[in-house]
């Protein structure tokens, strides 16, 4: 059996659990293209292709959120296509179709697309197939189209590769997936514990890898680390491969990684000298500095001229959202007084001192979970602080700075949820569907969300018809709140689901 057949058989026997990939949302990554002067297609009416779509956990929520766009998913595993199609039918989606195929067999039969997504596909195919993938992407893009590809990279993946090689060497005799996964975990633990602590650098690396492997779910471990193909590249190699197929590097879907603000001025000056200002060389040096192991790259057709001088006014056409909250709920609006803002779960923190920046974050907090247009944000800020000649430019500069720090989201077309919900809350349908199928679900921002059992039980009963009282009645004897009455617990759960952007109204 050749390696490609082995790969296909593995996915048929153990299907990949399909999740949303937040930055693969065209409404998110098209913003990066616009910042560099690309005229990206309108997402609400776009034609979108996902290669390696797995069970549709990434594409179905996008099709639901953008009902006037059209979507095509391609995967070579029948089990994946069956699941994706069934879930699309459950959601009542009429704007999506799934095709069972190896992309190399498709030719040009699917036509052209505004956006192409290939999350995690590039690294898990042969080097020959990598070239074919880039050619297929190039041939599939419309003139103004943008592609999103994510993949493993050196130098950071070298540590993962060491562990992968160890596991694959050890599990050659495994007879089934469960045995293979258990044996892989066992050998990593054995080798990690066997290395003397006096070998501090090696022991530390192995300990970190063991901790990562221990937290990785079985199916993910099998497919991400143990498959027959896993071919990382250096970023400059990827860029060269893409250029050979008529593609040009636009930027990173995580826009903030393209700056080097965490480095000293002296280091940034030296970096500029070494790279000669060349974007590919700059990005490659940054990968070495950061020991980066994964990239989410945006590509366009080679003929486009990109303007790397980002102007804050670009955000005037964006929708904006953030979950930043003032630490401790205390917000001193005094100019010059620093206030710490954090994302939920302390995922990130930023300190803000200007009254204007604090007002922006205060107004965005009041708007959550819906996204706010720039014009609406500017209008609300002016009402609070008064107008001035250049206030919109100041607002856009602050928004762009927060965006570059990955604490604020920009959309070319963001989620428009209700500011409040009614007596019979209506759930975000994909979130309800996937919460019933797997451990994490998806919200209206295309983010993965983990739920506790009680919140999951409440979400399962939300349908836009049942009231909180009716849900509490249905849960009587089936769920026990940590404290207080069942009705109060359901009301609190609904409020929490609303804050997770899992309720539409």
> pLDDT tens digits for 289-300?
999 999 999 999
Of 133, 126, 293, 124, residue with least CA distance to 225: 124
In 91-234, alpha helices (H): 127-140, 157-170, 177-194, 200-215, 218-225
Would you state the pLDDT for residue 13?
67
* CA atoms of 228 and 4, how far apart (whole Å): 8
Is the N-terminal amide bond of 311 cis, ω within 30° of 0? no
Backbone angles phi, psi at 40, to 5 degrees: -65, 140
414, 371 Cβ separation under 8 angstroms? yes
Residues of the chain with pLDDT under 70: 1-14, 173-175, 199
Angstrom CA distances, 235 to 220, 303, 501, stand at: 24, 21, 35
Of 470, 469, 475, 473, residue with least CA distance to 455: 475
Distance of CA 218 to the CA centre of its chain: 21
Of 106, 104, 86, 105, residue with least CA distance to 96: 86
* CA atoms of 160 and 151, how far apart (whole Å): 13
Characterize the bridge pairing of strands 319-321 and 325-326: unpaired
For the chain, list the domains and their CATH numbers. Answer: 3-154+231-263+293-301 (3.40.50.150), 157-225 (no CATH), 312-411 (3.90.930.60), 429-499 (no CATH)
* CA atoms of 503 and 500, how far apart (whole Å): 8
Would you state the pLDDT for residue 201?
81
Q: Is 281 exposed, middle or buried (CB count within 10 Å of its CB: 0-12, 13-18, 19+)?
A: middle
Angstrom CA distances, 270 to 104, 267, 274, 287, stand at: 43, 5, 6, 15
Is the N-terminal amide bond of 155 cis, ω within 30° of 0? yes
Buried b (16+ CB within 10 A) or exposed e, 397-423: bbbbbbbbeebbbbbbbbbebeeebee
Would you state the pLDDT for residue 1?
61
């Amino acid at each position: 059996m050749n390696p490609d057949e082995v790969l296909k058989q593995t996915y048929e026997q153990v299907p990949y659990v399909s999740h949303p990939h937040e930055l693969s949302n065209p409404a998110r990554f098209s913003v990066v293209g616009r910042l560099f002067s690309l005229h990206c297609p309108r997402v609400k009416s776009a034609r979108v292709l996902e290669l390696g779509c797995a069970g549709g956990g990434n594409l179905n929520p996008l099709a639901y959120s953008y009902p006037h766009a059209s979507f095509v998913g391609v995967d070579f595993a029948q089990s994946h296509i069956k699941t994706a199609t069934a879930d699309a039918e459950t959601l009542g989606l009429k704007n999506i179709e799934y095709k069972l195929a190896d992309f190399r067999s498709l030719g040009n039969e699917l036509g052209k697309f505004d956006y192409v997504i290939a999350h995690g596909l590039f690294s898990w195919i042969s080097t020959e197939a990598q070239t074919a993938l880039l050619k297929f992407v190039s041939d599939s893009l419309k003139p103004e189209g943008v592609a999103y590809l994510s993949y493993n990279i050196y130098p950071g993946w070298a540590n993962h590769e060491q562990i992968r090689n160890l596991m694959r060497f050890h599990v050659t005799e495994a007879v089934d997936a469960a045995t293979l996964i258990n044996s892989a975990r066992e050998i990593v633990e054995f080798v990690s514990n066997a290395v003397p602590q006096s070998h501090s650098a090696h022991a530390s690396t192995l300990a970190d890898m063991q901790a990562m492997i221990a937290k990785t779910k079985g199916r993910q471990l099998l497919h991400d680390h143990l498959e027959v193909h896993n071919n990382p590249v250096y970023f400059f190699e990827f860029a060269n491969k893409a250029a050979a197929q008529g593609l040009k590097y636009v930027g990173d879907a995580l826009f903030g990684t393209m700056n080097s603000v965490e480095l000293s001025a002296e280091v940034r000056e030296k970096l500029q000298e070494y790279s000669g200002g060349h974007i590919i060389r700059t990005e490659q040096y940054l990968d070495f500095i950061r020991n980066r192991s994964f990239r989410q790259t945006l590509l366009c057709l080679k003929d486009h001229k990109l303007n790397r001088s980002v102007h804050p006014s670009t955000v005037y056409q964006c929708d904006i959202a953030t979950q930043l909250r003032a630490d401790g709920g205390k917000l001193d609006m005094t100019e010059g007084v620093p206030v710490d803002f954090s994302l939920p779960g302390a995922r990130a923190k930023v300190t803000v001192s200007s009254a204007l920046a604090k007002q922006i974050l205060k107004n965005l907090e009041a708007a959550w979970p819906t996204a706010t247009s720039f014009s609406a944000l500017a209008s609300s800020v002016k009402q609070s602080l008064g107008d001035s000649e250049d206030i919109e430019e100041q607002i856009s500069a602050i928004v762009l700075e927060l965006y570059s720090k990955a604490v604020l989201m920009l959309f070319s077309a963001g989620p428009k949820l209700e500011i409040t919900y009614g007596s019979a809350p209506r759930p975000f349908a994909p979130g309800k569907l996937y919460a019933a199928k797997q451990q994490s679900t998806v919200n209206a921002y295309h983010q993965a969300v983990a739920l506790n059992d009680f919140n999951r039980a409440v979400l399962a009963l939300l349908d836009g018809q049942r009231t909180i009282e009716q849900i509490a009645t249905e849960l009587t004897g089936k769920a026990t709140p940590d404290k207080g009455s069942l009705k109060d617990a359901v009301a609190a759960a609904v409020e929490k689901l609303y804050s997770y952007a899992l309720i539409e109204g």
